[in-house]
Homo-oligomer: A and B are copies of this chain.
Amino acid sequence: MYRTHNNGSLRLKDVGSNVMLCGWVQKSRDLGGMTFIDLRDRYGITQLAFNESINEPLCAEARKINREWIIQISGVVKERTSKNLKINTGEIEIEVQSLTVLNESKTPPFTIEDDTDGGEELRMKYRFLDLRRNPLKDNLMLRSKMSIETRTYFHDCNFLEIETPYLIKSTPEGARDFVVPSRMNKQQFYALPQSPQTFKQLLMVSGYDKYFQIVKCFRDEDLRADRQPEFTQIDCEMAFVSQQDVLDTFEGLIKHLFNKILGVTFNERFPVMSYNQAINDYGSDKPDIRFKMKINYLDDVAKGKGFAIFDNAQTIAAINVSGCADYSRKKLDELTNWVKRPQIGAKGLVYVKCNEDGSFKSSVDKFFNQEDLSNWSEKCNSKPGDLILLLSGDKSTVQKQLNELRLLMGSRLGLRDPKVFKPLWVVDFPLLEKDEETGSYHAMHHPFTSPKNEDLDLLTTNPLKVRANAYDLAINGVEVGGGSIRIHNRPVQEKMFDLLGFTKEEARAQFGFLLDAFEYGAPPHGGIAFGFDRLCSLFGGKDNIRDFIAFPKNNQGRDVMIDAPSELDASQTKELGIDLID
């Protein structure tokens, strides 16, 4: 036995007990006659006291010990004279009677503190040291708890956790598949799944009724800051369900997690918003509804006054920013530059200050008089003291740009508190989107997503208007999950493939086994998948998913700690039956 307690467990009631502790030396302080060591493990920190007047050789030994060494001590729990109420063990300390160094440590390349002096690159290389720091440890403990609570919820709801294979089939369309050469089947390849989508649908055909899995998925693509080549999904599917059944079940999961993990209770149903409304009001299919600041459309009151930019624009729209009429010229210029950055891409920004005296001051006073501006402010529900920010141009572009501007202003006004959570179901997504370059249709969600029954006729007459039984859950402007009710009816599926431009042969080559399965009694079914990394970071109140993954890859898809990917031996590639080309 190495220890009687961990470093987070001793309290005043333990005073007088003989204990053994192990851990890492967080820091030591030599105060002449006394030496104190903070001993750390996953559970906390316990202060060790070495008193020169009680045991001089032991105290001398303790002085030799450096940060991150691992020691084992035995001693007696004492009440501290100067208590530290910030930590759980802060009322006691250990009067050490014996000390063993279990392992020494070189000096870490950065400090193991909440605020470390190590740069990103260095910390990734020494991830095993970075993981010792509290912020990362707290994240991984949160993730572990999220995982067990997710499973508990599903188990209590009679879901089965079923593992689907990782070595699956690559499809010609699977351009983002990672592939795996097979030694036993030379010149043939497996693919790693981008999601278990087809398998979970098969499980419904097999009658498993309620399936879930917390599962790794893989996508070989250029990585944005918040993407990883391997990521974790909470993957779910149910049979004999309507969209409402699905929303109910998974709203239950999210409420359970909020309750168990953060102690946050939602008594009301999560609000539901149509995709069209979300785009119209917020310019986003995942609006952050912690604050209002909706988009207002000013076309009918801003055109025809001789301001060519507006007159030629498809849409003129604005957000009203409360209490910002006092923005300085400099601040407004800075905002203008912000929307003109290539990431946003606006041509310019028009503002109207709603002065406290009821007058207006705008950047387009040359073209619009006080009455015009008053009309605008009425459209925007502005009050004296507010600032109206207008953009114009192509409608969907203006909506996207105003979404970004709205989020920026929301952040600046402190309206996006990471401790406040506002979930929102966004429903009625379009079934199809059009590739502007090729003119062909793509399934917005998945080729098996079902159209709404009432829109079936539109499949022929106006496909882009067809709404899908598809839904996303957004929380605080972050898409945490999405899914759909699937097609289980063969004629509709054929019509869908037709619209997507698949020949029968292509559909067969890509989805053959699933189409086969659908001929042997497929129940109505639907499901959802949540991005688990993202969900954890949201619950942790952070933006970066990487800090919620024990061993993440960097933006180049590399693990710099283990140096992967890396080159193979020529003998290995030969055995695999492959040759490397430039």
Find the residue from A42, A191, A566 having the highest chain B CB count within 10 A: A566
Interface assignment of A53: CB less than 8 Å from any CB of chain B: no
- CB contacts under 8 Å to B, within A490-548, are 512-513, 516-517, 519-524
Q: Once the chains are docked, how many angstroms separate the CA of A163 from the CA of B520?
A: 37
* Segment at the interface with B among A198-206, A362-370, A395-403: A198-206
Contact (A41, B578) CB under 8 Å given A148-B161, A169-B559 = no
Interface assignment of A391: CB less than 8 Å from any CB of chain B: no
A578 to chain B, nearest CB (A): 5
Interface assignment of A337: CB less than 8 Å from any CB of chain B: no
Interface assignment of A358: CB less than 8 Å from any CB of chain B: no
Q: Once the chains are docked, how many angstroms separate the CA of A105 from the CA of B521?
A: 5
Interface assignment of A558: CB less than 8 Å from any CB of chain B: yes
Contact A580 B577 (CB under 8 A): yes
Contact A155 B165 (CB under 8 A): no
Contact (A164, B242) CB under 8 Å given A220-B184, A579-B581 = no
A228-254 Cβ-contact flags toward B at 8 Å (1 or 0): 011010000000111001000000000
Contact A565 B103 (CB under 8 A): no
Contact B180 A178 (CB under 8 A): yes
Q: Once the chains are docked, how many angstroms separate the CA of A3 from the CA of B524?
A: 12
Contact (A207, B40) CB under 8 Å given A1-B242, A517-B128 = yes
Residues of B within 8 A of A520 (CB): 68, 105-106, 108, 126, 128-129
* Segment at the interface with B among A378-386, A418-426, A549-557: A549-557
Q: Once the chains are docked, how many angstroms separate the CA of A519 from the CA of B562?
A: 16
Interface assignment of A435: CB less than 8 Å from any CB of chain B: no
A65 to chain B, nearest CB (A): 11
Contact A579 B580 (CB under 8 A): yes
A484 to chain B, nearest CB (A): 17
Contact B22 A240 (CB under 8 A): yes
Residues of B within 8 A of A182 (CB): 220, 557, 565
* Contact partner, A568, options B160, B170, B517, B576, Cβ 8 Å: B170
Contact B103 A69 (CB under 8 A): no
Contact A172 B524 (CB under 8 A): no
Contact (A165, B576) CB under 8 Å given A129-B520, A517-B128 = no
Interface assignment of A445: CB less than 8 Å from any CB of chain B: no
- CB contacts under 8 Å to B, within A1-27, are 1-3, 6, 22, 24
Interface assignment of A97: CB less than 8 Å from any CB of chain B: no
Contact B164 A551 (CB under 8 A): yes
- CB contacts under 8 Å to B, within A166-217, are 166-170, 172, 175, 178-185, 187-192, 198-199, 202-203, 205-209, 216
Interface assignment of A374: CB less than 8 Å from any CB of chain B: no
- CB contacts under 8 Å to B, within A263-297, are none
* Contact partner, A522, options B103, B172, B489, B556, Cβ 8 Å: B103
Interface assignment of A85: CB less than 8 Å from any CB of chain B: no
A441-485 Cβ-contact flags toward B at 8 Å (1 or 0): 000000000000000000000000000000000000000000000
- Chain A residues close to B by CB (< 8 Å): 1-3, 6, 22, 24, 40-43, 68-70, 102-106, 108, 126-129, 131-132, 137, 140-141, 143-144, 147-148, 151-152, 155, 160-170, 172, 175, 178-185, 187-192, 198-199, 202-203, 205-209, 216, 218, 220, 222-223, 229-230, 232, 240-242, 245, 488-489, 512-513, 516-517, 519-524, 549-551, 553, 556-559, 561-569, 572, 574-582
Instruction: Return the 4 tightest CB-CB contacts between A and B, nearest first.
Output: A105-B521, A131-B206, A169-B564, A188-B565
Q: List 5 A-B contacts (CB under 8 A).
A: A1-B245, A102-B488, A167-B178, A181-B565, A183-B220
